[in-house]
Amino acid sequence: MTTLVTYATKYGSTQEVAETIAASLRQQGIQVELLPVREVNTLSNYSEVVLGAAIYAGRWHKDARKFLRQHHATLVNLPVAIFALGPLSDDEKAWQGARAQLDQTLARFSWLTPIAVKMFGGVIDPSKLHFPFNHMPAGDKRDWEAIRTWANELGTSFSSPTTLKPVLENTTPANITG
């Protein structure tokens, strides 16, 4: 079986994180397919799904939300790991705010019990943005070591159903961290 790593992106930074997660999983011997959410038609070939998207104006990218709605019936029976990109500074409040924004979105999908939920720092490249957003300061808060570490943890649980099961059983919205 294959793990699907799928992502929604506007400016490419989430895609690069998804690529790194896919590469880390492959290094662990896991078969991975990497696709933008818009190109996923069926989940029938996959044993796990890793879904990532950025937060924009307080909401997780609409394509990621659409993906959850579209594939609800299959996802309810699959291990799903979620990641998001957002914070543009090291300020703890920015991280808490972004996490709250993601949690609010996920709470609308009450049937979804992710095995992991993780927030990563985001990217601003003003040259890719239109006015007035092109006045935002440039920055890249992605921590590649943290991204690879998270992917390795996922890979360990994917390749060992005995570790996956307790994670699934114990994961509730209240104790999801990251």
Ligand X SMILES: Cc1cc2nc3c(=O)[nH]c(=O)nc-3n(C[C@H](O)[C@H](O)[C@H](O)COP(=O)(O)O)c2cc1C
Taking the complex as a whole, the smallest distance from the CB of residue 96 to ligand X amounts, in Å, to: 10
Q: Which residues bind ligand X (CB under 6 A)?
A: 9-14, 54-58, 85-88, 98, 101, 122-124, 129, 133
Q: DSSP class of residue 102?
A: H
Q: For residues 87 and 155, which CB has a smaller minimum distance to ligand X in the complex? A: 87
> Residue 149 corresponds to which tokens in the numbers above?
């570490």
Residue 160 falls in which region: left (phi positive, over 0), alpha (psi -120 to 50) or beta: beta
Is the alpha carbon torsion for 174, 152, 89, 137 positive or negative? negative
Among candidates 38, 79, 37, 86, which has minimal Cα distance to 60? 86
Closer to ligand X by Cβ: residue 150 or 158: 150
Nearer to ligand X, 71 or 99 (CB): 99
CB of 166 vs ligand X, minimal distance in Å = 31
Minimum Å gap between C-beta 130 and ligand X is 9
- Residue number of the CB closest to ligand X reads 86
Judged by beta carbon, residue 15 or residue 70, the one nearer ligand X is 15
User: What are the residue ranges of helices labelled H in the chain?
Assistant: 13-27, 62-70, 72-75, 92-107, 144-159, 161-170
d(C-alpha 26, C-alpha 42), whole Å: 21
